[in-house]
Amino acid sequence: MVKVKTGILPFPVPICIAGTMINGKANYATYGSFGLLSPRPEMYIYIGSQESRHTNTGIKENGYFSVNIPSEEQMQKTDYVGLVSGHNTDKSAVFNSFFGSVDKAPMIEECPVNLLCKLVKTADLPNREIFFGEVLESYVNKECINNGILNFEKINPLLFTMNGPGNASYWKLGNIVGDAYKEGKNILKS
């Protein structure tokens, strides 16, 4: 093993675009810190970013946010809404927005997966805010579902890697290599 510098992310992570309303307009920002906390019985997720993000203000004021999973096709726009700040750039027209049952969290039509989340907790870390949300509604593009099963090849989620400051890349999923909750049973049998 080789020790590497802090700031290198040794594995890819999914990237998401958070959506919220600010001053009556949709605002979107790219978040590289995102993940699932609990898939059932209620689904909880988290997103995290620098404290100064304009989108963070909308999340705290509204108590709702959306998590939109972009595909490779949305890479340029995903990168763009992460590069510019909503403090001085109107990002409401970058994507086509739609709403679920709550009008405080715009979702992105172009993204294959969208989650409407209710803010349940905020945690402050040095220079970071982490938002914990309960997923209230989930939307998936119908072209990404085969016989009631999600087709991740069609969803084609955008992944993010960081190999040090100024050296980050986007990736896409590879091939299925095994079945979860089944592969380890071979060891149990022996």
N- to C-terminal Cα separation, the chain: 30
Report residue 51's pLDDT band, with 50, 70 and 90 as the boundaries. low
User: Would you place residue 113 in the very low, low, confident or very high pLDDT band (cuts 50, 70, 90)?
Assistant: very high
The answer to whether residue 170 sits within a structural domain is yes
- Model pLDDT, residue 33: 80
**If you average pLDDT over residues 102-129, what whole number do you get?**
93
Per-residue b or e along 39-64, where b marks 16 or more CB atoms closer than 10 Å to that residue's CB: eeeebbbbbbbeeebbbbbbbeebeb
- Within a domain: residue 89? yes
Mean pLDDT across the chain: 89
Total domains present in the chain? 1
pLDDT at 36: 85
pLDDT of 156 > 80? The answer is yes
In the prediction, which pLDDT does 86 show? 87
4 assigned to some structural domain: no
Cis peptide upstream of residue 41 (ω within 30 degrees of 0):
yes
Where is pLDDT greater, at 72 or 35?
72
Residue 7 forms part of a structural domain: no
Q: Which of 97, 69, 82 is nearest to 29 (CA)?
A: 82
Judge whether 3 lies within some domain: no
List the strands of the sheet with 159-163, edge to edge. Answer: 8-14, 159-163, 168-171
Burial of 27 (0-12, 13-18, 19+ CB in 10 A): buried
* Residue 28, in any domain of the structure: yes
* Candidate from 33-37, 74-78, 100-104, 116-120 with smallest mean pLDDT: 33-37
Bridging pattern class, strands 44-50 and 149-150: unpaired
The CATH number covering residue 95 comes to 2.30.110.10
Task: Say if 88 falls within a structural domain.
Answer: yes
pLDDT at 12: 85
Burial class of 177 by CB neighbour count within 10 A (0 to 12, 13 to 18, 19+)? exposed
Q: Which domain holds residue 176?
A: 12-189
| Mean pLDDT of the region 102-110 | 97
pLDDT confidence of 7, banded at 50, 70, 90?
Answer: low
In whole angstroms, give the CA distance from residue 82 to residue 14. Answer: 14
Is the residue at 164 inside a domain? Answer: yes
Q: The whole model's pTM is what?
A: 0.90
Q: Which stretch of 36-45, 118-127, 134-143 has the lowest confidence by average pLDDT? A: 36-45
